[in-house]
Chains A and B, each alone.
Chain A
Amino acid sequence: MVKFVFHNKSFTLIELVIYLLIMSSLGILTMLVFYGITFYSNVYLDKILLRNEMFNLLYRLHLNSIIATSTEVSSSSIKFNLNPEGYERFFLSNNKIYFEDQTTSTPYTSDRIKVNNFEINTTSNFYHIFIKLSDRSNNHSLSLTTTLYLWSF
Chain B
Amino acid sequence: MLKNGQLLLEVLVGILILSFLSLIIFLIFNFLPEVINTIDESIIIYNLALNYKNILLGLSRTNYSLFEDLIYNQPYYLITTSSGYEIKIGKEIINEYGYYRWFELIDDSLIKVYLQTPNNFYNFPFSLVNIREKIFVQENWQIATTGVIRVEEISNQYLEKSANIEIDGQIRLSQ
Contacts and interface: CB of A to CB of B under 8 A. Distances in A.
Interface of A: 22, 25-26, 29-30, 32-33, 36-37, 40, 43-44, 47-48, 51, 54-55, 58, 62, 65-67, 123-126, 142, 144-149, 151
B146 interface: no
Contact of B83 (A30, A32, A123): A123
Given A124-B83, A147-B54, 17 more contacts: A26-B17, A26-B18, A29-B25, A33-B24, A40-B36, A47-B39, A51-B42, A55-B43, A66-B131, A66-B132, A123-B82, A125-B84, A142-B40, A144-B47, A146-B51, A149-B58, A151-B61
Given A44-B39, A47-B36, A51-B42, A58 B50 contact: yes
A44 B38 CA distance: 10
Given A123-B83, A126-B58, A62 B50 contact: yes
Contact of B32 (A29, A36, A148, A149): A36
A147 B61 CA distance: 16
Interface string B8-44: 0000001001100110110011001101100110111
A18 B13 CA distance: 16
Given A26-B21, A124-B84, A40 B28 contact: yes
Interface of B: 14, 17-18, 21-22, 24-25, 28-29, 32-33, 35-36, 39-40, 42-44, 46-47, 50-51, 54-55, 57-58, 61-62, 80, 82-85, 131-132, 135
The residue in B14, B18, B43, B84 that gathers the most chain A C-beta atoms within 10 A of its C-beta is B43
Nearest to B21: A29
Given A22-B14, A33-B24, A43-B36, A55 B55 contact: no
24 contacts: A26-B17, A29-B18, A33-B21, A37-B28, A40-B33, A43-B36, A44-B32, A44-B35, A44-B36, A58-B46, A58-B50, A62-B54, A123-B80, A123-B83, A124-B84, A126-B54, A126-B55, A126-B58, A144-B43, A147-B54, A149-B54, A149-B55, A151-B61, A151-B131
